[in-house]
Amino acid sequence: MTEARAFWVREPGAGEIRPATLPAAGPDDVVVRTLRTAVSRGTETLVFEGRVPPSQYDLMRAPFQEGEFPGPVKYGYLNVGVVEHGPAHLQDRIVFCLYPHQTRYVVPADAVIAVPQEVPVERAVLAGTVETALNALWDVAPAAGDRIAVIGAGMVGACVARLVALTPGVEVTLVDIDPAREKTALAMGAAFATPERAPVDCHTIVHTSATSEGLQRALELLAPDGTVVEMSWYGDRQVTLPLGEAFHSKRLTIRASQVGAVTRSKRDRYTTSERRAIALDVLRDPAYDVLLTGTSSFQQLPEVMARLTDGTLRALCHSISYDDE
């Protein structure tokens, strides 16, 4: 088939389904029929709202993005499909790719990674999120005896909490303003607390809430010489912090973690593709199913994106089914 359909942000706040013509596949390409995609809620809702700062247009490009910010733009990067045509080792395999929401697509074969047979399609859409969390784990480098808090119990925060919780001898607490997220924390093997009840004197705090209040609370909860690993991306929002308080006297550190490059301590060991393969292997763990909180059809995606953005659709990981496409 040479025709497909894709989701586009037509302009800030408005999405639509558009036809797409597939290029001819070369000998080193694969043709993939999409089975599931997922919405990366933090980043994709900022894109949907047109809140990517012009200074970040190049850095924020998705690997197979079409169009330009603020729109029209085809954006997304959590795609699981089946190879309909390609090299023998990938033929008929379920694969993950950093491709937007589209019914079929053609990409170089090295742009896809085979999903382990033990990982269901529904869970495999989390590969990009777990890869982000894995990079943060390497940045945090938890060790026995550490007291660690993760502020923000969204997709990324919950995945970080799970990875940290599997480190022997580490005390980890998932912190969120929504008490209903306690279920998520417990499924991930972490304790839960609201911000006012969060543990103090933490050695490291991973911040994922994308709010000034969350980052401020992270600084308040740190022990002397502690570090905040900042994973939030704020788009065009300004962040205000009380750096005139204990920040200097306690010798605190704020350190960025970003998935665009493998963290320095692992860069000579793993490529980004190898890191993604590790993330897919991690997803053999059924604990991650607690993040899968809803599914809609591809045809409903424009409405779904609007509702995720305005908060009327509450979800951790909302996936898109292509069963009828």
Q: pLDDT at position 228, please?
A: 97
Residues 159/175, Cβ–Cβ less than 8 Å: no
Same domain, 108 and 233: no
Distance CA 217, CA 232 (A): 14
Same domain, 168 and 236: yes
Same domain, 161 and 213: yes
**Tell me, what CATH number does 113's domain have?**
3.90.180.10
pLDDT under 70: residue ranges of the chain:
1
Tokens of 71: 């729109």
Tokens of 52: 């990517």
Residue 66, domain extent: 3-126+283-321
Residues 152/175, Cβ–Cβ less than 8 Å: yes
Same domain, 39 and 152: no
Same domain, 67 and 154: no
Q: pLDDT at position 269, please?
A: 94
Q: Are strands 29-38 and 104-108 parallel, antiparallel or unpaired?
A: antiparallel
**Tell me, what CATH number does 221's domain have?**
3.40.50.720
Q: pLDDT at position 233, please?
A: 85
Same domain, 121 and 134: no
Residue range 265-290, pLDDT digits in tens: 999 999 999 999 999 999 999 999 99
Dihedral of CA 188/189/193/195: which sign?
negative
Same domain, 67 and 168: no
Q: pLDDT at position 187, please?
A: 97
Same domain, 138 and 157: yes
Same domain, 194 and 218: yes
Q: What radius of gyration do the chain's Cα atoms show?
A: 20
> Residues 298, 302, 305, 309: what is their CA dihedral angle, to the nearest 10 degrees?
-170
Please indicate, yes or no, whether the overall pTM of this predicted structure exceeds 0.85.
yes
Same domain, 252 and 203: yes
User: Over the chain, what HEC string results?
Assistant: CCEEEEEEEEECCEEEEEEEECCCCCCCEEEEEEEEEECCHHHHHHHHHCCCCHHHCCCCCCCCCEECCCCCEECCCCEEEEEEECCCCCCCCEEEECCCCECEEEEEHHHEEECCCCCCHHHHCCHHHHHHHHHHHHHHCCCCCCEEEEECCCHHHHHHHHHHHCCCCCEEEEECCCHHHHHHHHHCCCEEECHHHCCCCEEEEEECCCCHHHHHHHHHHEEEEEEEEECCCCCCCCCCCCCCCHHHHCCCEEEECCCCCCCHHHCCCCCHHHHHHHHHHHCCCHHHHHHEEEEEEHHHHHHHHHHHHHCCCCCCEEEEECCCC
Tokens of 274: 């190898």
Same domain, 35 and 115: yes
Tokens of 304: 């779904």
In DSSP terms, 254 is beta-bridged to 228
Distance CA 148, CA 159 (A): 14
Residue range 300-318, pLDDT digits in tens: 999 999 999 999 998 999 9
